[in-house]
């Protein structure tokens, strides 16, 4: 039995040298009530976000993206993402003229309205903004006789579309000249309050497009794409907030163009 004592001494020395004794004593100590380091759970490396960056926004439900300016000028149709809360339709300068006469858009697409054809989710609200200098417009929507009045350099009250289907509309005084458009409503979850993602497009002079792009951005709007339209530039933008607030910002920018 004489060999047991030396073994116990060696085991004790190893226990102390390895730090096990310190860990054991820490387990017996009472928890600190302040001043001690806070235990922060560590995320896996792929989930960590570097300082100064933000969490990526999830993709819109059901997929889908906003039509680019070049596609809009080619097809005359603006398709909105399924989470769009509001669409702003521009009445371009000289929109009251017959096709091919003084239209701003050289291929006559989007000359009456920008866009002339829109695809929106159910629940989306639509506002018409006028940039047709010197002319007043009354927008007539083929939906149980619903109408919206719009004055020069102003915008209409929002019209909310809740039922899927295609709705034709026109400017009452200039429908015979071809100032017509259509809105196709798809099943979706568009924000019924008219607050959220607001999208639209404008025409600006190509000679000073940088200024108008900066004006839109200064107003809190994001220019997503641009495309040539004769002597003009088509800019597709989006913003967030209430559709009336965004329409007000867009009107300030369009009033600064030489058409107004």
- Tell me, what CATH number does 107's domain have? 2.60.40.420
Residue 192 banded pLDDT, cuts 50, 70, 90: low
Residue 176 banded pLDDT, cuts 50, 70, 90: confident
pLDDT of residue 98: 58
Q: Which domain holds residue 143?
A: 69-255
pLDDT of residue 118: 97
- Total-model pTM: 0.71
Task: Kindly state whether residue 106 falls inside one of the protein's structural domains.
Answer: yes
Task: Kindly state whether residue 4 falls inside one of the protein's structural domains.
Answer: no
Q: Is there a cis peptide before residue 129, judged by omega within 30 degrees of 0?
A: no
- The percentage of the chain sitting over the pLDDT mark of 70, rounded to a whole number, equals 64
Residues 6 or more apart whose Cβ sits within 8 Å of residue 170: 139, 140, 179, 180, 181
Between 44 and 11, name the one with better pLDDT.
Answer: 11
Strand 77-79 with 117-121, pairing? parallel
pLDDT at 184 over 90: yes
Task: Kindly state whether residue 226 falls inside one of the protein's structural domains.
Answer: yes
pLDDT tens-digit series, residues 148-169: 777 666 888 899 998 899 999 9
Task: Kindly state whether residue 41 falls inside one of the protein's structural domains.
Answer: no
15-24, 28-37, 48-57, 93-102: least confident range: 48-57
Task: Give me the long-range contacts of 4-13 (CB less than 8 A, separation at least 24).
Answer: none
Task: Kindly state whether residue 133 falls inside one of the protein's structural domains.
Answer: yes
Task: Kindly state whether residue 177 falls inside one of the protein's structural domains.
Answer: yes
If one counts every other C-beta atom within 10 angstroms of the C-beta of residue 159, the result is: 20
Nearest of 79, 165, 84, 70 to residue 117 by alpha carbon:
79
User: Mean pLDDT across the stretch 179-191?
Assistant: 81
pLDDT of residue 121: 94
Q: Burial letters for 193-219: b for 16+ Cβ neighbours within 10 Å, e otherwise?
A: ebbbbbbbbbbbeeeebeebbebbeee
Specify the number of domains making up the chain: 1
How far is Cα 135 from Cα 129, in angstroms, rounded to an integer? 12
pLDDT tens-digit series, residues 6-32: 555 555 555 455 555 444 444 444 333
Q: Reduce the DSSP state of residue 139 to 3 states and report it.
A: strand
pLDDT tens-digit series, residues 203-257: 998 888 999 999 999 999 999 999 998 888 999 999 999 999 999 999 999 888 8
Rounded to 5 degrees, what are φ and ψ at 210?
Answer: -60, -40
pLDDT of residue 125: 93
- The percentage of the chain sitting over the pLDDT mark of 90, rounded to a whole number, equals 38
Q: Could you list the beta-strand ranges (E) of 174-213.
A: 180-186, 195-205
Task: Kindly state whether residue 38 falls inside one of the protein's structural domains.
Answer: no
pLDDT of residue 149: 74
Residue 96 banded pLDDT, cuts 50, 70, 90: low
Task: Kindly state whether residue 76 falls inside one of the protein's structural domains.
Answer: yes
């Amino acid at each position: 039995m004489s060999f047991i004592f030396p073994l116990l001494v060696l085991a004790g020395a190893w226990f102390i040298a390895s730090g096990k004794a310190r860990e054991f004593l820490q387990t017996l100590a009472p928890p600190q009530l302040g001043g001690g380091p806070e235990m922060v759970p560590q995320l896996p490396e792929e989930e960590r976000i570097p300082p100064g960056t933000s969490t990526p926004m999830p993709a819109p439900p059901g997929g889908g993206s906003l039509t680019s300016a070049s596609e809009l000028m080619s097809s005359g149709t603006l398709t909105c993402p399924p989470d769009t809360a509001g669409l702003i339709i521009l009445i371009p300068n000289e929109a009251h003229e017959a096709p091919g006469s003084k239209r701003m858009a050289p291929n006559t697409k989007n000359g009456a309205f920008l866009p002339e054809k829109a695809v929106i989710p159910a629940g989306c609200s639509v506002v018409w903004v006028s940039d047709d200098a010197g002319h007043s417009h009354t927008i007539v929507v083929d939906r149980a006789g619903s109408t919206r009045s719009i004055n020069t350099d102003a915008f209409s009250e929002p019209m909310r579309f809740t039922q899927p289907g295609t709705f034709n509309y026109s400017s009452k005084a200039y429908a015979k000249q071809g100032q017509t458009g259509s809105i196709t409503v798809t099943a979706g979850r568009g924000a019924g309050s008219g607050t959220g993602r607001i999208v639209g497009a404008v025409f600006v002079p190509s000679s000073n497009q940088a200024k108008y792009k900066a004006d839109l951005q200064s107003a809190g709007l994001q220019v997503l794409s641009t495309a040539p339209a004769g002597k003009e530039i088509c800019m597709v933008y989006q913003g967030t907030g209430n559709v009336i607030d965004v329409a007000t910002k867009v009107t300030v920018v369009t009033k600064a163009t030489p058409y107004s």
